[in-house]
Amino acid sequence: MKLIVGLGNPGTEYERSRHNVGWLIVDAFAKKFRIDITKHEKSAMTGEGRVAGGSVKVAKPLTFMNLSGDAVKLLVNAYLDSTDDLMIVYDDIDLPLARLRIKPSGSAGTHNGMRSIVDALASERFPRLRFGVRGAEYGDGRLRDYVLDDFTAEEVPLVERGIERAVDALVLFARGDLKRAMNEFNRDIVDDDAKPVAPEKDPTP
């Protein structure tokens, strides 16, 4: 089984916020494969289905972002033999809007949800998909306020395209082809056709 966890905060006030893009991506993935995220278990809402010939469980922790590790640990202990089969999907303020970065492991960086997960699992060895949320309007204001705000109307088209690409990347993960997902999606959207360019060195953790 593969377990895909999108990070976010419960509550309608956060539903479309930058900090909830992990939930938006998981919802889009579930919709594509007709997975109903309706089961309340392990401090999360979950759903399960078949993707690329294998079993996939998707989850949205209900613990609020800073305690994401509590739910993730319960889910991992219940369903996985290895954290190599875990994918965490979350927002990254250090990446430009809608840019994707997929890695098989790494530090939590400055993201509180990821810090909680690393602490709970006592490991940095699990795949993650980071979705850039740093738009043109990001300046010297409070980081917390910015990530808890909704995407602007001007940002939405690019965000929607980025979410589509993230879903395609998750399909490759579900197939067991993380390396291909990294090769194909660790690059920019460069025009209206979303044609890729050669991957650049990732300066962020």
Catalytically annotated residue among 2, 18, 19, 60 = 19
pLDDT of 128 strictly over 80: yes
Instruction: Give the pLDDT confidence score for residue 143 in this predicted structure.
Output: 81
**pLDDT band at residue 141 using 50, 70 and 90 as cut-offs:** low
**Would you state the CATH architecture of domain 2-185?**
3-Layer(aba) Sandwich (3.40)
Burial of residue 168 (CB within 10 Å: 0-12, 13-18, 19+) is middle
- The gap from C-alpha 36 to its chain's centroid, in whole angstroms, comes to 18
* Catalytic residue list contains 111: no
10-52 confidence digits (pLDDT tens): 999 999 999 999 999 999 999 999 999 999 999 999 999 999 8
169-191 confidence digits (pLDDT tens): 999 999 999 999 999 999 876 43
Its pTM stands at: 0.90
pLDDT of 68 strictly over 80: yes
81-117 confidence digits (pLDDT tens): 999 999 999 999 999 999 999 999 999 988 999 999 9
Q: Domain segments of the chain: what residues?
A: 2-185
Residue 42 three-state SS: coil
Q: Are 13 and 7 in contact (CB under 8 A)?
A: no
